[in-house]
Structure 1
């Protein structure tokens, strides 16, 4: 496995290949990341994984400085998973001057849900991914479906800019009790970790209610929020949305959307000081 820290060296090395596959990460890798690496491995003639904690997608009060950085463990895990190249640029390398040019995704997609509670988040994500795409020039890139809205934003960005990149989603990996794997799970205390499973359970209950014929989406969402709040959570949202545009479905279209697997339930909630997100397609 080769470790590359500059854009020029990366481009020179990748000039020997025709179909790079790419998995962008912020490091602190867990089994979910490694599943994406293994998914991407057979899709190209060289596999590049980036490790870069992107300051642009953190709000001033968020955990950029304390975000876990586990370089040695990450490299060891990536080598075992079949990674060919780790691209690990410094901030100075990727942003040698203030990033004045930025990618602004459409408000109807990026200013709702995560974008509402984390203003500017998807500008930061879209900008760094576009820049990493320019560095790696992959033919296929794999992102985790746990970040459902992010995956949709990146897919739309690649489509609208006519990028020659196939953007694929990788299934959410879960612990045995159902908790979605996440780097931020490391922040949870033991009691919080035991409680955390209730986020995925809330989504499962919402999904089952929809399958059972519930059509009052607003009431379903309110009940789910109240249930988590009663357990000591601080939920940002638990919502039912159409998969194709993340907008709220109308009661009249619920049956058709269920028949054609066109719904997704999404959640974000804070447990103690840790904010967790999850989703479940219905």
Structure 2
């Protein structure tokens, strides 16, 4: 089991200090990146560590860690290679790039090469449609790749090289990238990205300039129009009730009485929780609230007024 170093614990305290004391659980996302930087993935020990420093339980931490794909739940290679096969990249050959890499490395989706260097993943979209087919290495872009280019990149990585991405800073390992995603600066020499947007990104802007296409300007000093105190908003369009149901004056169809009781029970059972404990953890309180709400609903349904109203509707 991993024992996290004092340096990692100091960084965890620094991350938590970025947030208000009563909102410390907001630090969970960068903390998960921090433990991933230590081990290369979010291990059970990493989940336990995050729970410990935030005063949460492991189920809460695990629920977040399994929701986001950037948090890896099993050991991952030094370089995470993601190939986009969504619509635009797929049309341009993204699937062929992925299939070629999978065969070349002898792995499938979310699997790691035998030397532990490369983990390959099938990405739905990498938000760079204007450069497709796109692949990333530890979230740095390689634009306009073809199968041969992609194989060349992974072979160089496996040989110990660090090829320059199309955009951004020079490559780092997944652990080094996780440190940055936790909110700490990349202190490697020459690590700062340079260069501006590429030609595909600027093409639309240049076409708009050539053809005189623009939008009306906006003056940020324009005062906001305020409604006079006596001015009333326009009446809302009344909602249409189901046949045979009385519509109240305000236009909203009435909810069934048992639905109201169910809603009350849900609200009571899931009251807002403090920072240390999520809503709904107290099973006893939930059961008591549901029983009380159920009894209240039965009482209402059995009342003479409800019986008379139902008879009139029928």
Instruction: Report the TM-score when normalising by structure 2.
Output: 0.22
With normalisation by structure 1, the TM-score equals: 0.23
Structure ID, larger Rg: 2
Higher relative contact order (CA 8 A, sep 6+): 1
User: Which structure's residues are more often strand, by fraction?
Assistant: 1
